[in-house]
Amino acid sequence: MSLPQIIALLRQTIGLDVASVGLSTIERAVKRRLSANDLRDISQYANLLQRSEAEFQSLVEAVVIPETFFFRYPESFVALRQIVGEQFLCGTRKLRVLSIPCSTGEEPYSIAMTLIEAGLSEERFQIDAIDISARLVDLARFGTFGRNSFRGSELTFRDQYFQKTDPGFRLCDRVRQCVKFEQGNLLEEHSRFGSEPYDFIFCRNLLIYFDNRAQGQALKSLRHFLTADGLLFVGSAETSQLKEHGFSSMKFPMAFAFRKSGQVVVDQLPKPKKPQACSTAKAHRTEAYRRPNLAIPQKAVGAATKHENRLVPDLALAEQLADKGQLGEAEIICEAFLRGAGPSARVFHLLGLIRDSAGDQRRASEFYRKALYLEPDHYDALIHFALLKDKSGESAAARTLQNRARRIRERTK
């Protein structure tokens, strides 16, 4: 078994698209495992891989690069809180949520805090958290986090739910006990989870690492795991793949939320109902939901310019229109923004996506370049530009962009 055969084994087993992480990442991982096993050449290591499931798991651990922090994509948690407040506070059914991949636990714990802040008691919901990395799952269960897990300025939740210790910030037992962690592979034919459907699934920034076959298989499984009106949250770079696999966007600005096609789709977040229909205790929880609470971040924490902060509604509308396929209207808003506020990496990236979706690779490349000129570490622009280069046959340029994106992930671990 050679290095290409090892790569093929990774693709077959965990769906890994080598272009998504870069060949050099896999080469370094194999070299580290050679050294760890005191082996001299790759053929010896290949033989070990064929004999040992534990060693294959160790190789997967070396290849997987986690990138996560609390309340990443904060708009999705705002959407989750409001939907729960509208549809679940007055009910009795237990809410089920899946986080996959859960990495070191920041996402499922963010979900738990959001549901608590929405007014649900811990007995009213269940959160399953799955990751292919047993090491990351163990770290998640431990529940202690460094400063890099807390980003942005809205960190009131850290004061409320964490205790400062010598190793870092220790999450309180109340939140830790809300999440059940398990090591697992979404691509396994007989997975150990999903026996009952989930009301919400968070599967963000996993599909971008899969090849086409694995993407289709994963989305088929996720669709099966969802309730009839359940919601799937994905990463910002993955939205274009959902429509091809039976999902429709919910049009929540920057939440990247999808439902099974054919279900009822709304254009805006639901407004809270009046609490009169609930019991006194439930009405109290509903009122608590309606009061502002600073424990959970309510806004995006990215480094936006002053102009962007002032004109975010227009940009959110442009993103909504682009998501609906109304590319011309979205492009008009972006151009008006540039005329009024000047250059913006966020707008250039969106224009790149619009031109990319329209099949205009030349203009898309120009806009991605402009976004990266203004913001060289714009991760999404790097990923989309790399995908465009790879699609057009420029493999070397695609690898360069992927390596830049990988270094950004490694710096922020």
Mean pLDDT, residues 55-81: 87
Tell whether 104 is covered by a domain: yes
Count of other CB atoms within 10 angstroms of residue 8 = 14
Mean pLDDT, residues 80-96: 88
Residue 123 has pLDDT above 90, yes or no: yes
Nearest C-alpha neighbor of 353 from the set 274, 239, 242: 239
Same structural domain, 53 and 193: no
More confident residue, 331 or 118: 118
Tell whether 241 is covered by a domain: yes
Give the integer Cα–Cα distance in Å for 411 and 413: 6
Tell whether 371 is covered by a domain: yes
Number of domains in the chain: 3
Same structural domain, 59 and 80: no
**In CATH, what number is assigned to the domain containing residue 312?**
1.25.40.10
Give the integer Cα–Cα distance in Å for 78 and 110: 11
Same structural domain, 321 and 391: yes
**Residues 6 or more apart in contact with residue 407 via CB below 8 angstroms:** none
Residue 126 has pLDDT above 50, yes or no: yes
Q: What's the pLDDT score for residue 297?
A: 53
SS3 of residue 411 by DSSP: helix
Residue 80 has pLDDT above 70, yes or no: yes
Average pLDDT along the chain: 80
Same structural domain, 91 and 230: yes
Q: What's the pLDDT score for residue 329?
A: 77
Give the integer Cα–Cα distance in Å for 8 and 61: 17
Q: How confident is the model at residue 339 (pLDDT cuts 50, 70, 90)?
A: confident
Q: What's the pLDDT score for residue 274?
A: 40
Mean pLDDT, residues 360-386: 87
Whether the Cβ atoms of residue 89 and residue 118 lie closer than 8 Å to each other:
yes
Same structural domain, 226 and 83: yes
Q: Is 68 left (phi over 0), alpha (psi -120 to 50) or beta?
A: beta
Mean pLDDT, residues 214-236: 90
Same structural domain, 129 and 243: yes
Q: Running DSSP on this structure, what letter comes out for residue 268?
A: S
Q: How confident is the model at residue 315 (pLDDT cuts 50, 70, 90)?
A: confident
Containing 241, the helix (H) or strand (E) segment is none
Helix locations, 52-103, DSSP H: 53-63, 74-87
Containing 223, the helix (H) or strand (E) segment is helix 212-225
Count of other CB atoms within 10 angstroms of residue 225 = 23
Task: Please compute, for residue 185, the number of CA atoms within 13 A of its CA located in the half-sphere on the CB side.
Answer: 18
Tell whether 115 is covered by a domain: yes
Q: What's the pLDDT score for residue 311?
A: 37
Mean pLDDT, residues 270-296: 40
Of 48-52, 154-158, 280-284, least confident by mean pLDDT is 280-284
pTM of the model: 0.65
Residue 306 has pLDDT above 70, yes or no: no
SS3 of residue 189 by DSSP: coil
Same structural domain, 248 and 355: no
Tell whether 338 is covered by a domain: yes
**Residues 6 or more apart in contact with residue 271 via CB below 8 angstroms:** 86
Q: Which domain holds residue 217?
A: 74-260
Mean pLDDT, residues 140-156: 90
% of the chain with per-residue pLDDT over 90: 26
Same structural domain, 220 and 252: yes
Q: How confident is the model at residue 397 (pLDDT cuts 50, 70, 90)?
A: confident
Mean pLDDT, residues 297-308: 39
Q: How confident is the model at residue 275 (pLDDT cuts 50, 70, 90)?
A: very low
Tell whether 382 is covered by a domain: yes
Give the integer Cα–Cα distance in Å for 184 and 188: 8
